[in-house]
Amino acid sequence: MKSPLLTLPGAVSAEGVDEGVAAHYGDLFREQRALADGTGFVDLSHRGVVTVTGEDRLAWLHLLLTQHVSDLPVGRATEALILSANGHIEHALYLVDDGEMVWVHVEPGTQEALIAYLESMKFFYRVEVADRTADIAVVYLPAGSIAEVPEGVVVRETPHGRDLFLPRAGLEDYAAQAGPPAGILAHEALRVEQHRPRLGFETDHRTIPHELGWIGSAVHLQKGCYRGQETVARVQNLGKPPRRLVFLHLDGSEVHLPVAGTELRLADDGPDGRKVGFLTTSARHHELGPVALALVKRNVAVDAPLMAGDTAAAQEVVVEP
């Protein structure tokens, strides 16, 4: 869904999964600095929005999600996953309950598959699931923002900022008074800095939650059964995940930023060394320079210098080996 904010001065459309919103508005680093200072907003209106209503909504979702939500307090933000039977990540949900319904935003284009799964699991529960993407737009306000929120708009507040579930018809009016716009590239650079994984970026068809540090924040280890729980419990109690998420400082002298999917090798092994991982997201940060998130094999030494293609990379631990 193409955002009307792409008509704002300087707007350049994003590509790939984020197509439909602005990549930037002409000055990537200025936009990042504004967000870091708690000003401005990010148009995330391309994300899918799903609501769940009915008196059984929390008890029902509790059975399906990796997170403990049966007694989720009104207004408290949380995140959760839906796993396959083998424990691989299929969906990531960012949710809040307003006392009458649960509001969820998800990755662009994934809402239809999510809704299909939820509908197949309704059975006798008193719940209704709706796709609200056409009439609700997600807008992000950074941590520290003092921008006003229109009356009646549902807010999902986290340590990283606030997600607004804004009526899509009011998006342009809100943008006019919410401060300077920042594009998705600025939002992504700060996400990488904060080591926060994203479905479809840090995940592939075999990713399990332990690899990305989603245990705790999105996976509750003491809740009841859900699909894929056996894998989660087995890895938590008896083993280690095969891969781990790392944060990389990339060589700033390189003109080109290595792209997602770039293979990682040990620097000491040279260009013909064996593959030990791959980049998942790379970004140019306003203070740190070129940075990235990556998945590496668990047994890679935490202080081992790496090469991302032809670019030198130094690790910071995100998930302990």
Residue 168 inside a domain? The answer is yes
Task: Read off the CATH number of the domain in which 117 is found.
Answer: 3.30.70.1400
Residue 214 inside a domain? The answer is no
Q: Angle, nearest 10°, between helix axes 28-36 and 184-193?
A: 60
Range(s) of the domain holding residue 28? 4-47+135-194
pLDDT at site 187: 98
pLDDT at site 255: 80
Residue 235 inside a domain? The answer is no
- CA 292/CA 312 separation, integer angstroms: 12
Residues 127 and 62 in one domain: yes
Residue 222 inside a domain? The answer is no
Which residues in 107-123 are b (16+ Cβ under 10 Å) and which e? Answer: bbbbbeebbeebeeeee
Number of Cα atoms under 13 Å in the Cβ half of residue 156? 21
pTM score, whole prediction = 0.96
Residue for token pair 């891969």: 243
Residue 208 inside a domain? The answer is no
Residues 52 and 126 in one domain: yes
Number of structural domains in the chain = 3
Residues 140 and 256 in one domain: no
Residue 98 inside a domain? The answer is yes
Residues 42 and 139 in one domain: yes
Are the beta carbons of 163 and 104 closer than 8 angstroms? no
Residue 206 inside a domain? The answer is no
- CA 105/CA 225 separation, integer angstroms: 24
3-state secondary structure of 112: helix
pLDDT at site 105: 98
Residues of the chain with pLDDT under 50: none
Residue 169 inside a domain? The answer is yes
Residues 9 and 71 in one domain: no
Convert the pLDDT of each residue in 36-77 to its tens digit: 999 999 999 999 999 999 999 999 999 999 999 999 999 999
pLDDT at site 252: 84
Sign for the CA dihedral angle at 178, 179, 185, 191 comes to negative
